[in-house]
Structure 1
Amino acid sequence: MRVALCAAFAVCAVTAVLPGAASARPAIEPMGGAAGSAGSAGSRVAGVERISVAAGGTQADGNSADASITPDGRRVVFSSSATNLIPGGAAGGERVFVRDRQTGQNSRMGTYDPLNPPVISGNGGYVAYPIQWVNNVRVRQYQVSTGGTASANCLAHSCNQPSLSADGSSLALVVFFRQPSPGQRVELHDGDGTSRTVAALGHTRSSLPSLSGDGRSLAYQDGQAEDVFVWNRTGDTTSGPIEGPAKAATLVQLSDDGSKVVYLSGADTYVHDTASGTAQLVTNVRGVAIDPTGRYLLYAPQGTTGPSSLTLRDLQTGTDETVSAQPASAGTDAVSSGGREVVFHSTADDIVPGDTNGVSDVFVRSFA
């Protein structure tokens, strides 16, 4: 398993990118900031849209969170306890919804409480999330166009942490088993009914699988050894640990094109290039997500575990753009291709006008 991506981590190039790097793109005014604040002179002003609203724009009457966005920025999946997001849609608990930003319509995906944030396929056609099923946890996959169940996984064991390919035909997940001793398998399930074990781990600490859009690459972590690996379907080969044996790492995400792996180590974020084996260092920040092309990194200040400000970094130019100056949270798959949109949730009431519901809402920040 530990076939190294380079002869030793010491010979892999690491390029430092400092938070104060010079900007090649103009700064933007933080949401809720007053005119004349940082970034106001000659800045471009990007739009922000509240996603957790009913079709007519009525604000949600319950908390909404855990959002992901498709690469084209059209569809957003999120969970919500709101009862008014769809006609006659009394929730009776937390539910999963998909909003089509083009049509302004919401669709509910299933009638179960999600145990973890839902994920959406790159084409916006499928949604998956784990649910409680008697004494086990199952992953259910739904077809967005119909709202119907596309698959139910792990009938004999518990499974969790789903990740979908771009067309929804491949699903990565973690299967937990109790016998002969507690452990887990990182598995890849394909639409033809076949499945394969990518990794078998003798513990149940999180492995966080992250699948590329073409379903050919899968990043995961060994949560006990604190190592990150990348599996490739071609030749069924595994490379890693990509961070080197001396570093403790936590996986954040594999970019949709499979070119970049984001992981946390110490107080820093690393963006590993799978082709060259080099790593780009972004110092003293907590990486949250990366866009599908691997160019734009969403991050929060280091030392924060809850809501905080969010910033989008162009890894090529070193430019930072403010996504939210107010306390906010985001997860993986929060950034669309080219860093054009970022989805997040916040309880702040001054991100958009007329926010009076007093609950957490989901927003999309768009950059021109």
Structure 2
Amino acid sequence: MSKVRLVPLGVVLGAALSLTTVLAPVPSGAAPVPQPDPATARVSVSSGRAQANERSSSSSSSRTGRFVSFASRASNLVADDTNGVDDVFVRDRTTATTSRVSVSSTGVQGNAYSTGPATSGTGRYVAFISAASNLVPGDTNGVVDVFVRDRVASTTVRVSVPDGGGQGNDASTVPSISQDGRYVVFSSFASNLVPGDTNRFADLFVRDLRRGTTSRVSVPATGGQGNGPSGFSSSTISGDGRWVVFESTASNLVPGDTNDAPDVFLRDLRRAVTSRVSVSSTGAQGQGVSSDPAISADGRYAAFSSWSPSLVPGDTNGVEDVFVRDLATGVTRRVSVTAGGVQGDSSSYQPAISGDGRRVAFVSGASNLVPGDTNGTEDVFLVRWRAGTTTRLSVSAEGAQADSFSNDPSIDHRGRYVSFTSNATNLVPGDTNDMLDVFVAAADGAGGRPPSR
């Protein structure tokens, strides 16, 4: 899926990764032959498999997990990287090649940082934010914008632009992209992207790249505009571009919002309806902060994290948990639990949900979700909530637990591969750069051949 937990505006993260898989030599002109992957592999590496010489982070997977985009400050992942700032890269796990996408249509590197990638289903399109002013002509607003790179056509366009043309008059961030790359959702402080934007808050917008239109998402079903900021930390668009989940502190998006806390909302772009997601199975509103929204490809399931103890019965741990809401049946369940249903003994957050909604990757500092968790730090877990199983993914191919924290997961459509950032040095052999790295774990634990599409 294209969803990724994106860094706040102005924060530049990074992670350095080295893929341990080596592809067999391929005759010139022949199709690459996928080779077996280990259960855990490093992907923020150069095409020559050199580990990054600076930090890497913020990964996002394509539908099959073949393509993983990420941000890195490293200068040795591609040739001629001399700008000294974070760039956005894509790793093709099948051909074992790495390319830079935060460049102009003529291939010129950005003159300021780029980060926060979101990958389309095929991996052809990558949305990202950048402070660079030279990625497209006429970028003179001096703020962070949202861009999309077409990796096939080798073109870069700016998407955080007004409906009638021109450029935004304030910063934009946190993109999410539909499976076909047509729709891009993003948050913006700009007041000129749509007519009548007078609330002076960050709002959520969607850009239709086919029609060249921009519309506001974070609005009440009855019309008007939100009375609080929206989409400032993360948002996700469904595979077909119809549904958007987002975080907002606005109290007027739905009736009866009186909890005075950030909530997670769902916007049906086709029907122009806004509803609240962070509620119990009876429809009762939460009593704490809810955030980190993610949505399945078909728009049926939404995942989010919440501090509220009232969303499910028996929530007595007093920490942040991860929940999944079935938007068709209205059932909300807690998924950051052990295989036996025991609640975590520390916070869980940053969910990423598979295309069918059955698998959810998340970050947790809990030590009781799986046996033998004694590293005392945050790990990445995968729950198959229908099957009632919870596994830890941020481990080495041999099953050794990470010697430092892991976070920021992204999951492919089938839930087979999960990419994440880690500060650990023992997940793959030869990790000696002492930097944040980006890894991919096989959710079933056995590795296998990289995706061929």
Q: Normalising by structure 2, report the TM-score.
A: 0.66
Instruction: Kindly indicate whether the alpha-carbon contact (under 8 Å) linking 1:349 and 1:356 is maintained by their aligned counterparts in 2.
Output: yes
- Aligned equivalent of 2:357: 294
Instruction: Kindly indicate whether the alpha-carbon contact (under 8 Å) linking 1:186 and 1:207 is maintained by their aligned counterparts in 2.
Output: no
Matched AA of 2:187: V
The yes-or-no answer on 1:277 pairing with 2:330 is yes
The yes-or-no answer on 1:183 pairing with 2:205 is no
CA distance in 1, matches of 2:182, 2:296: 18
Query: 1:301: Cα distance to partner?
Result: 2.4
Matched AA of 1:197: R
CA distance in 1, matches of 2:113, 2:180: 22
> 1:76-134: per-residue Cα shift (whole Å, max 9, x none)?
00011111111233341111000111111111112345565211112211111122255
CA spacing shift, 1:156–1:117, aligned 2, 3 Å: closer
The yes-or-no answer on 1:141 pairing with 2:141 is no
CA spacing shift, 1:114–1:71, aligned 2, 3 Å: farther
Query: 1:246: Cα distance to partner?
Result: 4.0
CA distance in 1, matches of 2:304, 2:427: 30
- Aligned equivalent of 1:331: 408
The CA RMSD over aligned residues, in Å, is 2.5
- Aligned equivalent of 1:233: 269
> 1:152-199: per-residue Cα shift (whole Å, max 9, x none)?
423133322111000110111123146855213322111211222222
Match of 2:183 among 146, 167, 170: 170
Match of 1:156 among 156, 168, 174: 168
CA spacing shift, 1:108–1:207, aligned 2, 3 Å: closer
- Aligned equivalent of 1:212: 238
Q: Which has the higher strand share?
A: 1
CA spacing shift, 1:152–1:343, aligned 2, 3 Å: same
Count of residues paired in the alignment: 322
CA distance in 1, matches of 2:438, 2:272: 39
CA distance in 1, matches of 2:236, 2:204: 10
CA spacing shift, 1:322–1:218, aligned 2, 3 Å: same
> 1:248-307: per-residue Cα shift (whole Å, max 9, x none)?
322331122212111222232210011111111134351322222211111232579x96
CA spacing shift, 1:227–1:77, aligned 2, 3 Å: same
CA distance in 2, matches of 1:115, 1:68: 14
Greater displacement, 251-260 / 77-86: 251-260
Identity between Structure 1 and Structure 2 (%): 30
* Structure 2: 5+ residue stretches without partners: 1-36, 104-108, 134-140, 162-166, 192-196, 219-224, 251-260, 308-318, 336-342, 368-375, 395-400, 447-453
CA distance in 2, matches of 1:303, 1:167: 37
Greater displacement, 349-358 / 204-213: 204-213
Between 1 and 2, higher relative CO (CA 8 Å, sep ≥ 6) is seen in 1
- Aligned equivalent of 2:373: none
CA distance in 2, matches of 1:72, 1:269: 24
> 1:187-213: per-residue Cα shift (whole Å, max 9, x none)?
211121122222232333626321001
Greater displacement, 54-63 / 271-280: 54-63
CA spacing shift, 1:72–1:114, aligned 2, 3 Å: farther
CA distance in 2, matches of 1:294, 1:91: 40
Greater displacement, 146-155 / 80-89: 146-155
**The residue matched to 1:86 in structure 2 has which SS?**
coil
- Aligned equivalent of 1:362: 438
Greater displacement, 111-120 / 164-173: 111-120
* Structure 1: 5+ residue stretches without partners: 1-44
CA spacing shift, 1:303–1:295, aligned 2, 3 Å: same
